A and B are shown apart, each in its own frame.
Chain A
C-alpha cells in the first residue's frame, strides 16, 4: 500500500497498477447497478463479483471486460466459497491465472488487493502473524504500538480479504499458524495478553501450484479449512489461441517487437502442438500420444511464440515461420533429454509428418531435433 502511495505521490505511472485501480470504473459501475444483498463488508454482491470476473454488460450499458476466460462454474464456486467464510485455495499448474484471479477477487470483494503475503521458502512467521518494532519495544516495552501487524492481521481487524501467494512454498511451521486464524478466526497475541478477532468480511485466498507439490505439502488439518478450486488449462483450442495471441500482442508491444502480419497460423500450430502433447491425444481425438514431463502451459506457449516473434523480427523476414517456433517448441517439450525426446520424435513421426499443411513445420522440427 505504501509503495503505491509513493508512486502516486511522485506522479509516476506504475508499471502495473493494482486491479482495483485499473478497473476502478467497472467496479464503480457494478456497485451502482448491484441491488442484490451483499455479505457484511463486501463491496459487491457475490453475483456482481462473478460478473466482474467473467465479464458482461450492465443495464446502464457499461461493458465489464472478462478478467478470467474459463468455466463459469469455477468462478461461482470461488465467489460462493468466500461468501460462506471458508478460505479459498486456488490450485493449478503454472500459467493458469491463479494469481490473476485471486487479485481480482480480492479487488472486487474488498476493494483492496494489496493485503498480500508472498509465500517463499523463507517466509517467516511474522509475515503471517505479527512482528515487533524493536525500537518501540525496547523503549516502551510490549504494547499495541510496538506491534507490527501482518497483512493477514490487518485483514482480520478490518474485515478484508487477504491473499497468500504460493502457499505450498511456505515452511510447514509457518503454515500451521494459519490453522487457528482460519478455524477460530482469531489471532492471539500472548505477549500482550490480547487477541485480534476477525471482523465479518475477513477471508483468505491462497494460491498454490499443484505441479511441483511436495515442496511443503499442506497438512490435512490446514487443507480441510480450504475449499479448493482447480483452475484448468484452457478448454478449447480457440480459447487458448485467443489467450495466447492476445498476450503475445501485449508483450510484443511492450518489447517493441514489430507485429507479425501472419502470425495467427503459427500461433494456432503452437497451441495445437502444446494441447495435443499435454492432453495425450490428438485434436481429432483419434490418436493417443505420450505426454512429456513438462507442463506445456499456456504461459509457455506464449513465451514460445514471443521468442519466435523476436527471432523473426531480428533475424528473419519479420514473418513468423515454422522455423522460428520449432526450436522454442523443442525446448519446451524436451525437458528430460531421454524420455521426452522419444515422446517428441514419436509425435513428429506419427502425427506431424502426416498432417496436411504441416510439411514445412515437420521439416523445421526435424532440422532442429537432428
Chain B
C-alpha cells in the first residue's frame, strides 16, 4: 500500500474525468472506506449548489457553470455525466449524508486569470467563445476546467506518456485496457488498489515532467492542499478526495501552509456566479464545440450502467436502433457481431472488446460494411442523445441576465401588452435595439416581430411589434444552451443552422439575418455553408436567385465594415458557377421557363455589375465581367437557346457597349429572318426590346434597329401575322403612351428620314448622335454639383435629400439605410 491509500491519511482517489471505470472504482472505494467527508475537484462557490444534485428533477448530464457577474461572456463549465466519478462521489455523499465540498481554485479566481491571460493575448473580442471551451480533457487526466485563453505551453499528456511507455499508440485505449476494463476484477480484492497504483505512476511522471506545462496547476494544487488541510482538521484523516489522477502526487506532497498561501497571494479576482445548466451527451463529445474531451459519452454511459455482459447488451441496443430505422437486423446478426468483436479483441490482444472492436464488428456484420448506418449508431448511441435536466430552483441562466441587462440599457421593457416600436436605425440606441431583436429572433425568442412599417421603402426605419409572454422565459432558458450572452448564443446558433441548412435559399436568408443582427463572427461559417451549398446545387436557377441577394449583402457588409473578403469570394464563386452552368440550362425551355430564366439573367447581370463595382476593382473582377460577357455572347449566338433569352442577352450586350451595332443588327436580322418560326422571332424581339424600362426609347432613337424591326414585321406573312400579333402587343403595350405614339409617328414617317443616325461613327453610344452638345450638357452641371454637395464642401453625401440631418455620423447612418428595405 502506498501513502495514497494509507488508512491513516485521506483517501486520494485519482480518476480520469468522465471515465466510467473510474466512476465504478470510486463508488466501490467510497462504499468500502465510508469516509466522513468527500472533497471533489471543482469550484468551491458551487458548494451551495451541491444539494441540488440530489434533487429529483436533476438528471445528468449537467454542467456547473461559472460566469463573471458583470460579463456573462466570461464563463467556464464543469460538465458532469452520470458516469463521471465526481458525479458518482457527489451522489454517494448526498445519499449517505456525508458532507461534500469542492476544493479547486475558486471560479472567481480562475475566471479572472483567464480574463487576464486573454487580455495579454489581446483576444478579448473572442472571449465569449473561448471562455466556453471546456478544457477538461478526458485523456490527460487533468481536470482543469479551463476558462479559455490559457497560454499555450503544449502541455504534456500524462496518460499519453504512460500509454506510450506501455506500447500503445492510443492513450484512451491504454487507459481503458489498464484501468477501466480491469477495475471490475480488481474490485474484489481491494477497491483502493488501482488508485494506489495509479498514484504511483503519476508520481513517477510528475517527477519527470513537473507541472507538465500546466503552470496554473501549482496554484490550483496549493489551494486544494489548503482546503484538504482544513477538512482534515475538521473531520480527521477519514476523508476522501476525488480529483484528476494528475493532481494526486501534488496533494500528497508535504508543503507548509505558508508556502501554499504565498502561491495564492495576489490572484486576480472577479465576482463570479454559479449555477447548474442542463448539458447533453452531444456537448460532452469532443466534436461538438464545447467538447469535454470524450468521444463516446453514450458508450461510457452504457459501460457504467450495465452490470454484466456489456458487449452483448450494447450489440442488442445497436440492433434495436437499426431495426427502428428499418434496417433488417436479426438476432443472428447480433450473435455474429458479438463473436467478431470478441475475436477481434483477442487478436488485438485486448482484455475486453472495446469501442473500436465493437464498432468494427457492427460495421462488418450489421451495416454490411457501410459507414452510413454506422454514422447513425455513432450519433445516437456512441455519442447519444441524452439530455440533462436541471430543477427549476437552480439559479437563472446567464443568458437571461444578459438579456435583462440589455433590456435595461436599451430601455426596452418586456411588456405583455402588444405594442408597436418604430426604430430609426441612424440612432445608436435604436440600432442596438434592432440588433437585439434580430438576435433574439435567431434564438427563437419571439419577443419582437418585424411589422410592415409605415410605407418605408428603402428607408432606415424598422417597425417591430413587441409582446413579451411568460413562456419566453422558457425560450430564453432553452436558448441558454447556445451561449451565455445574447450575442454569443445567436452567433453559435446561426453557425449551427448554417451547417444544418439544406437549401441554398435558407443559407442566403441566414446570411442576411446575420448582417441584420450584426453577428460578424457567425458570418464565416455561414459563408462557408453558402459556398458549399452553392457548389452542390445543380440547379442554376437557385444559384441565380441567390446571387442578387448576395451581391446586395456584399454592399451592406461593405458599409458595415464586416469582413467582405470572404463574402466577395463566395459571391465570385457563385457567379463563376452561374457562368458555367447557365448556357446549358437555357436550352429546351418552354415559354414560362424561358421568361423565368430571362428574369434571372437580368438579376445576375445586375448582380455581376454590383460585384465588379463593389468589391473587385482588381483584375479578377474584370475577369468575372469578361466571362459574363462571354456567356452573354454565347447565349445570344446559340440557336438552341430560347428566343426571349437570346434577345435579352443581345440587348444587355448592346447596352453595355459589348456588342457592336453591326453585330446587333446582324443578330436581329438572323433572329427575325423569314426562316425563323414566327413565335420564336417574336419571343426574341420581346426579349430584346421589352421588359426593362427604356426598351421603347432605344427603338425611338436607334432608327436602324427600328428599321430592322419594321422590316421584319412587314415581312411576316399575312397568315402568320395573327399568330405574332399577341406577342408583339404584349411587348409594345408596356411602353409608355408617349413612346408608343412617337414610335408610331416614326414608322409612319418611314425609315431613315436623313437625321444623324448612329452609323456615323462607331464610338457613339447606341441611339445617340455623334459629338456632344456642349450647351445642353453644361445645363446639367449645377444640379449635379448640388447633388454631390461640391458647392457646400461637406464631401460626398449619398443620401443628400435629407438636409436637416447633417451631423458627423450622417454618412455611416445613411449607409445603413438599405437595411430597412430588406428587413
Given A280-B536, A346-B580, check contact A84 B340 (CB 8 Å).
Answer: yes
Residue of A77, A84, A91 with highest tally of chain B CB at under 10 A: A77
> Which chain B residues lie closer than 8 Å to A287 at the CB level?
531, 535, 573
Identify B536's interface contact among A288, A338, A345, CB under 8 A: A288
Among residues of A, the one whose C-beta sits closest to the C-beta of B540 is A342
Beta-carbon contact of A290 and B535 below 8 Å: yes
Beta-carbon contact of B369 and A350 below 8 Å: no
> Which chain A residues lie closer than 8 Å to B573 at the CB level?
287, 350
B356 interfacial by beta-carbon distance below 8 Å: yes
A145 interfacial by beta-carbon distance below 8 Å: no
Given A79-B347, A83-B343, check contact A228 B535 (CB 8 Å).
Answer: no
> Which chain A residues lie closer than 8 Å to B535 at the CB level?
287-290, 346, 350
How many CB-defined contacts (below 8 Å) exist between A and B?
Answer: 91
Beta-carbon contact of A91 and B536 below 8 Å: no
Given A287-B535, A287-B573, A288-B535, check contact A227 B364 (CB 8 Å).
Answer: yes
Beta-carbon contact of B576 and A350 below 8 Å: yes
Q: How far is the CA of A80 from the CA of B340 in the complex (A)?
A: 7
Beta-carbon contact of A288 and B532 below 8 Å: yes
In angstroms, how far is the closest chain B Cβ from the Cβ of A212? 16
Q: Flag B669-683 by CB within 8 Å of A: 1 or 0 each.
A: 000000000000000
Q: Flag B572-583 by CB within 8 Å of A: 1 or 0 each.
A: 010011011100
Beta-carbon contact of B343 and A350 below 8 Å: no
In angstroms, how far is the closest chain A Cβ from the Cβ of B626? 12
In angstroms, how far is the closest chain A Cβ from the Cβ of B58? 40
A194 interfacial by beta-carbon distance below 8 Å: no
The 27 sampled A-B contact pairs (Cβ below 8 Å) are: A47-B347, A50-B347, A73-B356, A73-B360, A76-B344, A76-B348, A77-B340, A77-B361, A77-B364, A80-B344, A224-B330, A224-B332, A227-B336, A227-B340, A227-B364, A227-B365, A228-B365, A228-B368, A228-B369, A230-B370, A280-B536, A287-B535, A287-B573, A342-B580, A342-B584, A346-B577, A349-B580
Beta-carbon contact of B347 and A83 below 8 Å: yes
Q: Flag B362-398 by CB within 8 Å of A: 1 or 0 each.
A: 0111011111000000000000000000000000000
Q: How far is the CA of A81 from the CA of B337 in the complex (A)?
A: 10
Beta-carbon contact of A220 and B328 below 8 Å: yes
Among residues of A, the one whose C-beta sits closest to the C-beta of B538 is A290
> Which chain A residues lie closer than 8 Å to B369 at the CB level?
89, 91, 228-230
> Which chain B residues lie closer than 8 Å to A229 at the CB level?
364, 369
B333 interfacial by beta-carbon distance below 8 Å: yes
Identify A224's interface contact among B333, B371, B579, B584, CB under 8 A: B333
Q: Which of A28-54 contact B (CB under 8 A)?
A: 46-47, 50
In angstroms, how far is the closest chain B Cβ from the Cβ of A189? 27
Q: How far is the CA of A84 from the CA of B531 in the complex (A)?
A: 48
The 6 residue pairs across chains A and B that have the minimum distance between CB atoms: A228-B369, A230-B369, A288-B535, A288-B532, A227-B364, A345-B580
A223 interfacial by beta-carbon distance below 8 Å: yes
Give the total of B residues in contact with A, Cβ under 8 Å: 36
Identify B339's interface contact among A47, A79, A84, CB under 8 A: A84
Beta-carbon contact of B343 and A80 below 8 Å: yes
In angstroms, how far is the closest chain B Cβ from the Cβ of A127? 25
Among residues of A, the one whose C-beta sits closest to the C-beta of B627 is A349
**For chain A, what secondary structure do more than half of its interface residues adopt (helix, strand, loop), or is it mixed?**
helix
Q: Which of A41-78 contact B (CB under 8 A)?
A: 46-47, 50, 73, 76-77
In angstroms, how far is the closest chain A Cβ from the Cβ of B59? 36
A104 interfacial by beta-carbon distance below 8 Å: no
Q: Flag A240-279 by CB within 8 Å of B: 1 or 0 each.
A: 0000000000000000000000000000000000000000
> Which chain A residues lie closer than 8 Å to B531 at the CB level?
287-288
Q: How far is the CA of A349 from the CA of B343 in the complex (A)?
A: 51
Q: How far is the CA of A286 from the CA of B535 in the complex (A)?
A: 11
Q: Flag B689-722 by CB within 8 Å of A: 1 or 0 each.
A: 0000000000000000000000000000000000
A86 interfacial by beta-carbon distance below 8 Å: yes
Beta-carbon contact of B368 and A223 below 8 Å: yes
Among residues of A, the one whose C-beta sits closest to the C-beta of B573 is A350
> Which chain B residues lie closer than 8 Å to A339 at the CB level?
538
Among residues of A, the one whose C-beta sits closest to the C-beta of B356 is A73
Q: Flag A173-200 by CB within 8 Å of B: 1 or 0 each.
A: 0000000000000000000000000000
Q: How far is the CA of A81 from the CA of B365 in the complex (A)?
A: 10
Beta-carbon contact of B364 and A81 below 8 Å: yes
Told that A223-B368, A290-B536 touch, could you supply 20 new A-B pairs with CB distance under 8 A? A77-B361, A80-B343, A81-B364, A86-B340, A89-B369, A91-B368, A91-B369, A228-B364, A228-B365, A228-B370, A230-B370, A287-B531, A287-B573, A290-B535, A338-B584, A341-B584, A342-B580, A346-B580, A350-B576, A350-B577
In angstroms, how far is the closest chain B Cβ from the Cβ of A208? 10
> Which chain B residues lie closer than 8 Å to A223 at the CB level?
368
Among residues of B, the one whose C-beta sits closest to the C-beta of A46 is B347
Q: Which of A71-111 contact B (CB under 8 A)?
A: 73, 76-77, 79-81, 83-84, 86, 89, 91
> Which chain A residues lie closer than 8 Å to B367 at the CB level?
228
Identify A346's interface contact among B361, B364, B365, B581, CB under 8 A: B581
Q: Flag B262-284 by CB within 8 Å of A: 1 or 0 each.
A: 00000000000000000000000
In angstroms, how far is the closest chain A Cβ from the Cβ of B373? 12
> Which chain B residues lie closer than 8 Å to A341 at the CB level?
584
> Which chain A residues lie closer than 8 Å to B340 at the CB level?
77, 80-81, 84, 86, 227
Among residues of B, the one whose C-beta sits closest to the C-beta of A348 is B580
Identify B347's interface contact among A76, A228, A346, A349, CB under 8 A: A76
In angstroms, how far is the closest chain A Cβ from the Cβ of B640? 13
Among residues of B, the one whose C-beta sits closest to the C-beta of A72 is B348
Residue of A84, A338, A341 with highest tally of chain B CB at under 10 A: A84
Among residues of B, the one whose C-beta sits closest to the C-beta of A45 is B347
Beta-carbon contact of A77 and B584 below 8 Å: no
Q: How far is the CA of A103 from the CA of B301 in the complex (A)?
A: 42
> Which chain A residues lie closer than 8 Å to B347 at the CB level?
46-47, 50, 76, 79-80, 83
> Which chain B residues lie closer than 8 Å to A76 at the CB level?
344, 347-348, 360
Among residues of B, the one whose C-beta sits closest to the C-beta of A338 is B584
> Which chain A residues lie closer than 8 Å to B370 at the CB level?
228, 230
Q: How far is the CA of A76 from the CA of B347 in the complex (A)?
A: 8
Among residues of A, the one whose C-beta sits closest to the C-beta of B330 is A224
In angstroms, how far is the closest chain A Cβ from the Cβ of B538? 7
Q: How far is the CA of A77 from the CA of B348 in the complex (A)?
A: 10
In angstroms, how far is the closest chain A Cβ from the Cβ of B116? 35
> Which chain A residues lie closer than 8 Å to B339 at the CB level?
84, 86
Q: Which of B519-555 contact A (CB under 8 A)?
A: 528, 531-532, 535-536, 538
> Which chain A residues lie closer than 8 Å to B336 at the CB level?
84, 86, 227
> Which chain B residues lie closer than 8 Å to A77 at the CB level?
340, 344, 360-361, 363-364
> Which chain B residues lie closer than 8 Å to A86 at the CB level?
336, 339-340, 365
Q: How far is the CA of A81 from the CA of B368 in the complex (A)?
A: 13
Beta-carbon contact of A349 and B538 below 8 Å: no
Q: How far is the CA of A76 from the CA of B328 in the complex (A)?
A: 25
Q: How far is the CA of A83 from the CA of B345 in the complex (A)?
A: 13
> Which chain A residues lie closer than 8 Å to B363 at the CB level?
77, 228
> Which chain B residues lie closer than 8 Å to A47 at the CB level?
347
> Which chain B residues lie closer than 8 Å to A73 at the CB level?
356, 360
In angstroms, how far is the closest chain B Cβ from the Cβ of A316? 30
Q: Which of B465-504 contact A (CB under 8 A)?
A: none
Q: How far is the CA of A221 from the CA of B553 in the complex (A)?
A: 56
> Which chain A residues lie closer than 8 Å to B360 at the CB level?
73, 76-77
In angstroms, how far is the closest chain A Cβ from the Cβ of B519? 21
Q: How far is the CA of A236 from the CA of B239 in the complex (A)?
A: 53
> Which chain B residues lie closer than 8 Å to A80 at the CB level?
340, 343-344, 347
Q: How far is the CA of A350 from the CA of B369 in the complex (A)?
A: 35
Q: Which of A327-370 contact B (CB under 8 A)?
A: 338-339, 341-342, 345-346, 349-350
Q: How far is the CA of A182 from the CA of B181 in the complex (A)?
A: 35
> Which chain A residues lie closer than 8 Å to B365 at the CB level?
86, 227-228
Q: How far is the CA of A86 from the CA of B363 in the complex (A)?
A: 15
> Which chain A residues lie closer than 8 Å to B627 at the CB level?
349
> Which chain A residues lie closer than 8 Å to B528 at the CB level?
286
